[in-house]
Chains A and B, each alone.
Chain A
Protein backbone atom coordinates (compact mmCIF):
# COMPACT_ATOMS: atom_id res chain seq x y z
CA UNK A 1 0.00 0.00 0.00
CA UNK A 2 0.88 3.65 -0.08
CA UNK A 3 1.93 5.36 3.11
CA UNK A 4 3.01 8.94 3.69
CA UNK A 5 3.79 10.06 7.24
CA UNK A 6 4.22 13.55 8.61
CA UNK A 7 3.74 15.04 12.09
CA UNK A 8 0.21 16.12 12.88
CA UNK A 9 1.01 19.44 14.50
CA UNK A 10 3.98 21.73 15.09
CA UNK A 11 4.42 25.07 16.80
CA UNK A 12 7.20 27.55 16.11
CA UNK A 13 8.06 31.13 16.97
CA UNK A 14 7.89 34.09 14.62
CA UNK A 15 11.30 34.72 13.03
CA UNK A 16 12.53 31.20 13.73
CA UNK A 17 13.25 28.24 11.42
CA UNK A 18 11.06 25.13 11.33
CA UNK A 19 11.57 21.80 9.57
CA UNK A 20 8.58 19.63 8.65
CA UNK A 21 9.52 16.03 7.92
CA UNK A 22 7.82 13.56 5.59
CA UNK A 23 8.55 9.88 5.07
CA UNK A 24 6.98 7.82 2.33
CA UNK A 25 6.59 4.21 1.24
CA UNK A 26 4.99 4.02 -2.18
CA UNK A 27 4.92 1.43 -4.94
CA UNK A 28 6.66 3.84 -7.28
CA UNK A 29 8.20 7.28 -7.18
CA UNK A 30 7.97 10.06 -9.74
CA UNK A 31 8.42 13.15 -7.60
CA UNK A 32 7.48 14.65 -4.24
CA UNK A 33 5.43 17.81 -3.80
CA UNK A 34 4.79 20.15 -0.88
CA UNK A 35 1.61 22.17 -0.65
CA UNK A 36 0.45 24.88 1.77
CA UNK A 37 -3.19 25.02 2.78
CA UNK A 38 -4.70 27.82 4.84
CA UNK A 39 -7.98 27.03 6.57
CA UNK A 40 -10.89 27.20 4.16
CA UNK A 41 -8.65 27.70 1.14
CA UNK A 42 -7.17 25.69 -1.71
CA UNK A 43 -3.91 23.81 -1.25
CA UNK A 44 -1.27 25.84 -3.11
CA UNK A 45 1.87 24.37 -4.65
CA UNK A 46 5.13 25.18 -2.85
CA UNK A 47 7.86 22.91 -4.15
CA UNK A 48 8.79 19.83 -6.14
CA UNK A 49 11.69 17.39 -5.76
CA UNK A 50 12.49 14.43 -7.96
CA UNK A 51 16.28 14.21 -7.52
CA UNK A 52 18.14 13.97 -4.23
CA UNK A 53 19.16 17.22 -2.67
CA UNK A 54 17.90 20.61 -1.66
CA UNK A 55 15.66 22.91 -3.69
CA UNK A 56 15.55 26.49 -2.43
CA UNK A 57 12.81 28.98 -3.18
CA UNK A 58 13.01 32.12 -1.11
CA UNK A 59 12.21 31.45 2.54
CA UNK A 60 11.14 27.89 1.72
CA UNK A 61 13.44 24.96 0.90
CA UNK A 62 12.66 21.31 0.30
CA UNK A 63 14.99 18.35 0.60
CA UNK A 64 14.71 14.83 -0.78
CA UNK A 65 16.51 11.55 -0.12
CA UNK A 66 15.06 8.84 -2.36
CA UNK A 67 17.11 6.04 -0.78
CA UNK A 68 15.64 6.89 2.62
CA UNK A 69 12.14 7.70 1.41
CA UNK A 70 12.44 11.02 3.21
CA UNK A 71 11.80 14.68 2.56
CA UNK A 72 11.60 17.82 4.61
CA UNK A 73 10.25 21.31 4.11
CA UNK A 74 12.30 24.06 5.73
CA UNK A 75 10.69 27.40 6.47
CA UNK A 76 12.98 30.28 7.46
CA UNK A 77 12.21 33.66 9.04
CA UNK A 78 8.77 32.47 10.02
CA UNK A 79 5.90 34.89 9.72
CA UNK A 80 2.46 34.72 11.28
CA UNK A 81 0.95 34.19 7.82
CA UNK A 82 2.90 30.91 7.57
CA UNK A 83 0.41 29.38 10.02
CA UNK A 84 -1.24 26.76 7.82
CA UNK A 85 -1.31 23.05 7.04
CA UNK A 86 1.59 21.70 4.98
CA UNK A 87 0.83 18.69 2.82
CA UNK A 88 3.43 16.23 1.56
CA UNK A 89 2.41 14.37 -1.61
CA UNK A 90 4.04 11.78 -3.87
CA UNK A 91 3.36 11.03 -7.53
CA UNK A 92 3.80 7.28 -7.53
CA UNK A 93 3.25 6.77 -11.24
CA UNK A 94 4.48 8.42 -14.43
CA UNK A 95 2.55 10.76 -16.64
CA UNK A 96 -0.37 12.97 -15.69
CA UNK A 97 -1.45 10.91 -12.68
CA UNK A 98 -2.89 11.95 -9.31
CA UNK A 99 -0.85 12.56 -6.19
CA UNK A 100 -0.91 10.52 -2.99
CA UNK A 101 -1.17 12.82 0.02
CA UNK A 102 -0.13 12.62 3.65
CA UNK A 103 -2.48 13.85 6.37
CA UNK A 104 -0.76 17.20 6.56
CA UNK A 105 1.10 19.03 9.31
CA UNK A 106 -0.69 21.92 10.98
CA UNK A 107 1.89 24.61 11.77
CA UNK A 108 1.10 27.33 14.28
CA UNK A 109 3.41 30.34 14.34
CA UNK A 110 3.32 32.22 17.63
CA UNK A 111 4.70 35.61 18.59
Chain B
Protein backbone atom coordinates (compact mmCIF):
# COMPACT_ATOMS: atom_id res chain seq x y z
CA UNK B 1 0.00 0.00 0.00
CA UNK B 2 1.72 3.15 -1.23
CA UNK B 3 -0.98 5.65 -0.32
CA UNK B 4 -1.71 6.32 -3.99
CA UNK B 5 -4.68 4.45 -5.48
CA UNK B 6 -5.37 4.17 -9.18
CA UNK B 7 -8.50 2.85 -10.89
CA UNK B 8 -9.14 0.92 -12.97
CA UNK B 9 -6.14 -1.42 -12.84
CA UNK B 10 -6.80 -2.62 -16.38
CA UNK B 11 -8.65 -0.96 -19.25
CA UNK B 12 -9.30 -2.13 -22.79
CA UNK B 13 -10.87 0.37 -25.13
CA UNK B 14 -11.43 1.02 -28.80
CA UNK B 15 -9.96 3.99 -30.59
CA UNK B 16 -13.27 5.83 -30.65
CA UNK B 17 -14.13 5.35 -26.98
CA UNK B 18 -13.94 7.91 -24.19
CA UNK B 19 -12.74 6.77 -20.78
CA UNK B 20 -11.13 8.25 -17.69
CA UNK B 21 -8.37 7.11 -15.36
CA UNK B 22 -8.59 8.06 -11.71
CA UNK B 23 -5.90 8.64 -9.12
CA UNK B 24 -6.36 9.40 -5.43
CA UNK B 25 -3.61 10.03 -2.89
CA UNK B 26 -4.04 9.75 0.88
CA UNK B 27 -0.65 11.22 1.81
CA UNK B 28 -1.49 14.90 2.11
CA UNK B 29 0.80 15.76 -0.79
CA UNK B 30 0.31 18.86 -2.90
CA UNK B 31 1.88 17.78 -6.18
CA UNK B 32 0.55 15.08 -8.48
CA UNK B 33 1.92 13.62 -11.71
CA UNK B 34 0.95 11.43 -14.63
CA UNK B 35 3.63 9.22 -16.20
CA UNK B 36 3.48 6.81 -19.13
CA UNK B 37 5.51 3.59 -18.91
CA UNK B 38 6.06 1.66 -22.14
CA UNK B 39 8.13 -1.48 -22.58
CA UNK B 40 11.87 -0.84 -22.85
CA UNK B 41 11.43 2.90 -22.39
CA UNK B 42 12.00 5.13 -19.37
CA UNK B 43 9.02 6.52 -17.52
CA UNK B 44 7.79 9.49 -19.54
CA UNK B 45 6.43 12.48 -17.65
CA UNK B 46 3.07 13.66 -19.02
CA UNK B 47 1.59 16.24 -16.66
CA UNK B 48 2.38 17.93 -13.35
CA UNK B 49 -0.06 19.60 -10.98
CA UNK B 50 0.92 21.70 -7.97
CA UNK B 51 -1.86 22.82 -5.64
CA UNK B 52 -4.45 21.86 -8.30
CA UNK B 53 -2.78 24.01 -10.97
CA UNK B 54 -1.17 22.42 -14.01
CA UNK B 55 2.48 23.44 -14.01
CA UNK B 56 3.84 21.16 -16.72
CA UNK B 57 2.53 19.59 -19.90
CA UNK B 58 5.28 17.57 -21.52
CA UNK B 59 4.05 18.04 -25.12
CA UNK B 60 1.29 15.50 -24.61
CA UNK B 61 -1.25 15.07 -27.45
CA UNK B 62 -4.63 16.65 -26.82
CA UNK B 63 -6.33 13.24 -26.85
CA UNK B 64 -5.07 13.06 -23.24
CA UNK B 65 -6.80 15.60 -21.02
CA UNK B 66 -5.90 15.86 -17.32
CA UNK B 67 -8.11 17.22 -14.56
CA UNK B 68 -7.21 17.97 -10.96
CA UNK B 69 -10.28 19.02 -8.93
CA UNK B 70 -8.33 19.08 -5.64
CA UNK B 71 -4.90 18.18 -4.29
CA UNK B 72 -5.97 14.59 -3.56
CA UNK B 73 -7.52 13.62 -6.88
CA UNK B 74 -6.20 13.50 -10.42
CA UNK B 75 -7.93 12.28 -13.56
CA UNK B 76 -6.74 11.52 -17.06
CA UNK B 77 -9.51 11.73 -19.65
CA UNK B 78 -8.91 9.67 -22.78
CA UNK B 79 -10.48 10.25 -26.20
CA UNK B 80 -9.79 8.75 -29.65
CA UNK B 81 -6.55 7.11 -28.58
CA UNK B 82 -4.13 5.34 -30.91
CA UNK B 83 -2.69 1.81 -30.60
CA UNK B 84 0.70 3.29 -29.64
CA UNK B 85 -0.95 4.76 -26.55
CA UNK B 86 -1.19 1.26 -25.06
CA UNK B 87 0.99 1.39 -21.95
CA UNK B 88 1.01 1.46 -18.17
CA UNK B 89 -0.13 4.86 -16.88
CA UNK B 90 1.28 5.72 -13.48
CA UNK B 91 0.14 8.40 -11.10
CA UNK B 92 2.50 9.81 -8.47
CA UNK B 93 2.42 12.40 -5.72
CA UNK B 94 5.01 14.26 -3.68
CA UNK B 95 5.45 17.10 -1.22
CA UNK B 96 8.02 19.90 -1.06
CA UNK B 97 11.47 19.32 0.38
CA UNK B 98 11.68 19.34 4.15
CA UNK B 99 14.78 20.08 6.24
CA UNK B 100 16.95 19.82 3.15
CA UNK B 101 15.73 16.31 2.41
CA UNK B 102 14.51 15.88 -1.12
CA UNK B 103 11.13 14.15 -1.00
CA UNK B 104 10.60 11.14 -3.28
CA UNK B 105 7.60 10.62 -5.48
CA UNK B 106 5.11 7.99 -4.36
CA UNK B 107 3.52 5.94 -7.13
CA UNK B 108 0.26 4.11 -7.60
CA UNK B 109 0.10 0.62 -9.12
CA UNK B 110 -0.90 2.06 -12.47
CA UNK B 111 -3.59 1.43 -15.06
CA UNK B 112 -2.66 -1.03 -17.80
CA UNK B 113 -4.28 0.45 -20.91
CA UNK B 114 -4.79 -1.51 -24.12
CA UNK B 115 -6.10 0.21 -27.25
CA UNK B 116 -7.74 -2.05 -29.82
Contacts and interface: CB of A to CB of B under 8 A. Distances in A.
Contacts of A40: 109, 112
A48 B109 contact: no
Nearest to A46: B104
Given A42-B4, A91-B102, A96 B95 contact: yes
Nearest to A99: B105
Interface size class of B (residues with CB under 8 A): 20 to 34
Nearest to A91: B102
Interface stretch (A11-19, A59-67, A75-83, A101-109): A101-109
Contacts of B108: 42
Residue of B41, B43, B50 most packed against chain A (CB within 10 A): B43
A98 B56 contact: yes
A43 B107 contact: yes
Contacts of A89: 43
A96 B42 contact: no
A17 to B, nearest CB: 25
Contact of B40 (A43, A48, A97, A103): A103
A98 B95 contact: no
Nearest to A97: B48
